[in-house]
Amino acid sequence: MFPWRTPCSPAFKPRFIGPFTLRFHGCHRQGTFLRSHEQAPWCRPALKISEEIAYAPGRREHMNVQQTHGLTIGPLAASGFGATVAGLAPGAITTAQKEIVLEAYRRHHGLLCFEFEGLLSADDLHALTAIFGDNEFAPGLINGIGKKAADGEENISVDDQVAALRDKGRDPYLAFIGNVDPDSLKMTPTDRKFYGEWEWHTDMSYIPVPPTFSLLHARIVPATGGDTGFCSQVLAAAALPDDLRREVSTLRIKHDATYTSSGVLRPGMSAPASPIEAHGHAHPVLRATPSGPALFLGRRTNAYVVGLPLDESEDLLNRLWAHATQEAFQYHHHWRVGQVVAWDNRMMLHMRHPVDETAARFMWRTQTKGEAVRAVTA
């Protein structure tokens, strides 16, 4: 189902087996490749999608590896978007390096994989995150940011909540995601839903101002399983059929806050009777981003198109999701310890593949403060 799973390494090259055939780690796929000046037939020229995007997966050899200011930047192998960055020292990032990283992010449409030889400290990860914006609190720690206030805690200030966390030795900007204890690093009893597939989603899109960037730092990864899929919603918007584009041009989707991407009910939440009654925030279907219009769907569970009868909302959402998650828009990342992947939530969906119940997986996660969601204007 997901043929394009590769490590992020500029040195990793596709092997040509014959006419129009690529093979990666034993997988192969037939296809017609595009020269650098061509566009895929389903690309809308009016959107002026950069030639840096290759619409046939794996075909970006016209993009040279860049070496400058101690950094090596190259395209993600077997992906129509994204880049790798090597050579960065998070504790000593120069102004020039920051600008180079941000330019790479813009040119490669919202997905960067940073290669490091070892694990980062929390300060290093925060410094890396700061390239992309101001650090935002980790979800689930501060009321209103992925966490519903418990009874009697509604009026506790953010400063008091932060102070309480720091008194416990907890970094309020750092999230732990995994099935191990953050201190002992031993596996701990974990909800079985953790091990299943996590649905396509955008981080915290259920709040009025979702975080712009998310970063994941691989601390412990299984030999197999637990890969993270990314799906470009800029490419999906560029390929949106005209009739569907017109249908959604003024519509808004309410993004559900009830469940996590693994299907676990969030603390303080109760299951809604229907998506119409689900708790969450509504955003435009088509969102403006630095790389052009992007579909902004959030997650499928309990989503609702505001103003439509439920059956019509479900039908439209099914059509949108079927289009938005086509393999042509996807990249699936197999992790190595030490890597950090950063992505722009405004233009990217992501998901996680299942993890074996005997395997450990532990990630650190940070995010940046967001901006108001702007609808695409005609």
Most confident of 50-54, 278-282, 344-348: 344-348
Q: Report whether pLDDT(114) > 90.
A: yes
What is the CB-side half-sphere exposure of residue 161 using CA atoms within 13 A? 19
User: Between these two residues, 17 and 243, which has the higher pLDDT value?
Assistant: 243
The count of other CB atoms within 10 Å of the CB of residue 339 is 20
Under 8 Å between Cβ of 229 and 3: no
Confidence grade of residue 64 (pLDDT, cut at 50, 70, 90): confident
Q: Which two tokens stand for residue 39?
A: 């566009």
Confidence grade of residue 41 (pLDDT, cut at 50, 70, 90): very low
**The whole model's pTM is what?**
0.81
SS3 (DSSP) at 176: strand
pLDDT in tens, 222-262: 999 999 999 999 999 999 999 999 999 999 999 988 877 77
Domain spans of the chain? 5-136+173-367, 138-172
pLDDT in tens, 93-107: 999 999 999 999 999
Q: At a CB cut-off of 8 Å and minimum separation 6, what does 163 contact?
A: none
User: Which pLDDT score is estimated for 63?
Assistant: 63
User: Which pLDDT score is estimated for 13?
Assistant: 32
Fold observed for domain 5-136+173-367: Double-stranded beta-helix (3.60.130)
